Chain A
Amino acid sequence: MALENGQKPEDKAELAAVTKPTDWTIVVLRVVAFFATVTATVVMASNKETKSLVVAPPISVTLTAKFQHNPANVYFVIANGIASLHNVFMIVVHFFGDKFKDKGLQLVMVAVLDMMIVALVSSGDGAATFMAELGKKGNSHARWNKICDKFEKYCDRGGGAIISSYIGLLFLLVITVLSIIKLLKRN
């Protein structure tokens, strides 16, 4: 490409670097989503409660409720962990991704990955929510007793983790929509 008269290539590059605005909206959203998913992962992973029940006066039984007892909660922790990593990766890509040559491909990859992570987190949320509901209300038809009346702290912490994950999911959905709009605008 021929240069205009008197204009040096360094000037052009500098001008381009200075005038390109950093898209702060998406970065802020990603940071918030990251904190939400990390909170969800950590709170659910550290969810443990031990209780001693006295069955008959000299005998006491120690019952523990751990998050690993429920495969839906394990999946929840894994899904939110992966989502947190994804958020970190995306923030890094946002700041250092200018070196990537094919801008179109980068935008598509970002949109596709965002969409996949939204699906992953939503599935983790769905499973954990209904498991928590089962623990809270039980299911009289299947003769499954509720466990939340005995393990209140466990249920509360689980509920908090799930709410935090829903917030993260909302932000991730907004980010995905923004990424797709960015992709549409490019054309």
Chain B
Amino acid sequence: MTENRRIFTTVLRLLALAATVSATIVMVTSHDSTNVLNLTFKAKYNHSPAFTYFVIVEAIVSGYNLIILLLSSKGSLWRMVIILDVVAALLLTSSMSAALAIAQVGKKGNTHAGWLPICGQVSRFCKHVTGALVAGILAAMFYFMLNLFTLYNVLNPLFMVKPN
């Protein structure tokens, strides 16, 4: 019984790791430039602090996840891991929502503030960023499921030996 739970936890962590790593990579490799009426319109992820924050957070969480997967012991650290998982979920949701907000302004603009949408000019960049955001949302979801599963395990202890 406990083996199944451990396998499920590891699988969830691997999925979350894959999602965060792909989000980082996709966002970092997003750039596009267009020539409109002699003006070069360049778009790169580090032009916006929200996207930079997104990349940093996803990278940190990927690293953290990798370390946890490699350590993966039932030592005394697992309580710390639960709390750090909550902090990681918090960081992931915050970065994802920040990038989503800025991307929404980029796609639809904001007439009240006089901000024009840019997705018309740099559509490849927009698609790239959308892909990164989807990966970010998936990462947050997997992390959330991981947290819920961990809490559920704490109620029915993970290391309880089933009497035969």
Contact = CB atoms under 8 A, between A and B. Distances in A.
Interface of A: 65-66, 69-72, 75, 104-105, 107-108, 111-112, 115, 118-120, 122-131, 133-135, 139, 141-145, 147, 169, 173, 176-177, 180-181, 183-184, 187
A127 B37 CA distance: 33
What are the nearest 5 A-B pairs in CB distance? A126-B94, A123-B97, A69-B112, A127-B101, A126-B98
B21 interface: no
B144 A119 contact: yes
Given A70-B110, A125-B94, 9 more contacts: A123-B94, A126-B95, A126-B98, A130-B101, A131-B102, A141-B42, A145-B114, A177-B83, A183-B151
Contacts, number: 124
Contacts of A69: 110, 112-113
Contacts of B101: 71-72, 75, 126-128, 130-131
Given A143-B116, A183-B151, A115 B86 contact: yes
B113 A135 contact: yes
B100 interface: yes
Interface residues on B, range: 35 or more
A134 to B, nearest CB: 7
A155 to B, nearest CB: 12
B18 interface: no
A144 B116 CA distance: 7
Interface in B147-164: 147-148, 151-152, 154-155, 157
Interface string B50-82: 100100000000000000000000000001001
A187 B144 contact: no
Given A69-B113, A123-B94, A177 B86 contact: yes
Contacts of B148: 112
A142 B151 contact: no
B35 to A, nearest CB: 15
A185 to B, nearest CB: 10
A176 B42 CA distance: 43
Contact of A142 (B47, B89, B112, B140): B47
20 contacts: A104-B155, A108-B155, A115-B89, A118-B90, A125-B94, A130-B98, A130-B102, A134-B105, A135-B113, A142-B43, A142-B115, A142-B118, A144-B114, A145-B115, A173-B86, A173-B87, A183-B151, A183-B155, A184-B79, A187-B157
A122 B155 contact: no
A75 B94 CA distance: 13
A70 B83 CA distance: 33
Contacts of A173: 86-87, 90
Contacts of B144: 119
Contact of A130 (B44, B53, B155): B53
Given A125-B94, A183-B155, A118 B50 contact: no
